[in-house]
Amino acid sequence: MNIPNTLDSILLALRSFPKGASLEEINEALPISIEKRTLQRRLKKLKEDHLIYTEGGSHATRYFIKDKAAFPSKIETKYESSISIPLSQEGKEVWALVSRPVAQRKPVGHERSLLENYRPNIDSLLNESEKQKLAEWGNTRNGEQPAGTYAREILNRLMIDLSWNSSRLEGNTYSLLDTELLIHNGKTPSNKSPMETQMILNHKEAIEFLVESSDEVGFNLYTFLNLHALLSNNLLPNPAASGRLRTFGVGITNSVFTPLGFPQLIEESFDLILAKAKQIQNPFEQAFFILVQLPYLQPFHDVNKRVSRLAANIPLNRHNLAPLSFIDVPEVSYIKGMLGIYELNRLELFKDVFLWAYERSALRYAAIRQSLGEPDPFRMKYREEIREVVGQIVRTTTGKAEASNKVKLDARKLHEPDQGHFIEVVETELLGLHEGNFVRYRIKPSEFSAWKKSWDS
């Protein structure tokens, strides 16, 4: 973190201490830990610039911010020194409030009115200007295509980006390259824990579930319980809790918020979240609503935020909008935004993070999509038939001669003018099948490996 941003962060931290703060309290409130002597030098600089003043002796010095002190315009985080998210005035206020030491924050419980008072399509968490900006960023010109068309086009890249970023926001130490090697080549780094590896693989399977089942998934019990089951697979102390609502109380680390603890109320609130989300007509409002409400309820024993991040892509995928993969989002910004919701029921900071994250994601996938060229309308028309034939050939370990006959046989089910081109497309797909793309056909790694040996022999 460079000096100007360090000074800004110190000023922001001091805003939350009207009665002054000690050196230790300031350091605890900063988004990144600073050595004591460095912090003392920074505070001396702020005092010389007449932005702060002190009271007390050398061993009991307390630092105060002056009323007219410049307020920082950005928060820079420990995730990456070059990444900073512009915050609204309200977002800065929330950041300052949740950055206070835990002992200075008031313990709070779950506020049901945050959900119950929300009226779909009447009330809105996003204003019209924000929705318009999101729509401009997210437009892929695939709106008239079948649900999930855009996500399928960029599936390989989306799986890596979303798996890595969502896991990173949970403290996973896999690098982007590690993630790509694991997902595409099945290679596990020797210095990573089994839990971290499992988390990445769970994301991969959950993303495949959402993209490949675009017509069936939605804001319903089936989707969310299965999404949780996939994301929590082999990660919970009690395997039976995977895909089930919790029946006991939980706490939030480093927070004064206590989630709802009564099983009946958890179930009722969970059903209400899904019912209200389903009614929302705007896909961006749906995405933001689920990102806010699901973690706030904490309906599952664990993995709630992960479920919400993937579920936020359901309406985007359905409307063929750019996905939200949380590229470059600093972990500390995401956590502070969540704390604002948990402890204050204030959404401004998390909304700042959401808007910034979506613009970043949309720009990335626009560039990727442009490099792919326009989609083949024939492949789009017969995507299910192509997937079925290719998948069947691989799963049955069919050799080249047999495969050729099978493709011709299946082609006869189509309109005669399309049969020749269908055979050509399927055979091209079979010849181009490799470790990095077979997931498109719902093929397991073991099935692909067995088929490949037979095919190449």
- 353/114 Cα distance (integer angstroms): 20
> What would the two tokens of residue 179 be?
């993630």
CATH code at position 36: 1.10.10.10
Residue 94 belongs to some domain of the structure: no
- 341/349 Cα distance (integer angstroms): 9
Using alpha carbons only, what angle is made at residue 300 by residues 356 and 109, rounded to the nearest 5 degrees?
Answer: 75
Check whether 68 has a pLDDT greater than 50: no
Residues 6+ apart with CB under 8 A from 17: 25, 26, 29, 63, 64, 65, 100
Q: Tell me what pLDDT residue 325 has.
A: 93
* Residue pair 442/212 in contact by the 8 Å Cβ criterion: yes
Mean per-residue pLDDT, 174-179:
83
pLDDT digits (tens, 9 = 90+) for 387-425: 899 999 999 988 877 887 888 888 888 888 788 878 878
Same domain, 22 and 163: no
> What would the two tokens of residue 129 be?
């200007």
Same domain, 257 and 395: no
Residue 404 belongs to some domain of the structure: yes
Final residue before a domain boundary, out of 72, 96, 130? 72
Residue 86 belongs to some domain of the structure: no
* Residue pair 154/369 in contact by the 8 Å Cβ criterion: yes
Q: Tell me what pLDDT residue 74 has.
A: 46
Q: Tell me what pLDDT residue 373 has.
A: 55
Residue 248 belongs to some domain of the structure: yes
Same domain, 139 and 260: yes
**Residue that is written with structure tokens 């804001």 in the block:** 219
Would you give the end-to-end CA distance of the chain in angstroms? 56
How many domains is the chain partitioned into structurally?
3
Final residue before a domain boundary, out of 354, 372, 390? 372
Does an H or E element contain 417, and which? helix 416-431
Helix/strand/coil (H, E, C) string of 308-366? Answer: HHHHCHHHHHHCCCCCCCCCCCCHHHHHHHHHHHHHHCCCHHHHHHHHHHHHHHHHHHH
Same domain, 312 and 170: yes
Check whether 148 has a pLDDT greater than 80: no
CATH code at position 249: 1.10.3290.10
Using alpha carbons only, what angle is made at residue 411 by residues 408 and 414, rounded to the nearest 5 degrees?
Answer: 160
- Residues spanned by the domain of 31: 3-72
DSSP 107: P
Same domain, 387 and 360: no
Final residue before a domain boundary, out of 53, 72, 91? 72
Mean per-residue pLDDT, 196-212:
93
Mean per-residue pLDDT, 164-171:
92
Residue 414 belongs to some domain of the structure: yes
- Antiparallel, parallel or unpaired: β 84-86 and 108-109: unpaired
- 426/389 Cα distance (integer angstroms): 8
Residue 87 belongs to some domain of the structure: no
Same domain, 366 and 277: yes
Confidence of residue 346 (pLDDT cuts 50, 70, 90): very high
pLDDT digits (tens, 9 = 90+) for 425-449: 887 788 778 877 777 788 888 888 8
Residue 101 belongs to some domain of the structure: no
- Could you write out the DSSP letters of every residue in 38-101? HHHHHHHHHHHTTSEEEES-TTS-EEEE-TTPPPPSEEE-SS-TT-EEE--HHHHHHHHHHTS-
Q: Tell me what pLDDT residue 17 has.
A: 78
- 288/355 Cα distance (integer angstroms): 10
Minimum mean pLDDT among 3-12, 252-261, 307-316, 332-341: which range? 3-12
Check whether 225 has a pLDDT greater than 90: yes
Sequence letter at residue 235: L
Average pLDDT score, the chain: 86
Q: Tell me what pLDDT residue 370 has.
A: 61
Check whether 16 has a pLDDT greater than 90: no
Same domain, 292 and 243: yes
Please indicate, yes or no, whether the overall pTM of this predicted structure exceeds 0.75.
Answer: no
Same domain, 159 and 188: yes
Same domain, 241 and 259: yes
Same domain, 56 and 133: no
Q: What are phi and psi of 55, to 5 degrees?
A: -140, 150
Check whether 70 has a pLDDT greater than 60: no
Same domain, 244 and 368: yes
Residue 160 belongs to some domain of the structure: yes
Q: Tell me what pLDDT residue 158 has.
A: 85
Same domain, 123 and 244: yes
3-state secondary structure of 220: coil
Choose from 11-25, 121-135, 240-254, 370-384 the range with maximum mean pLDDT: 121-135
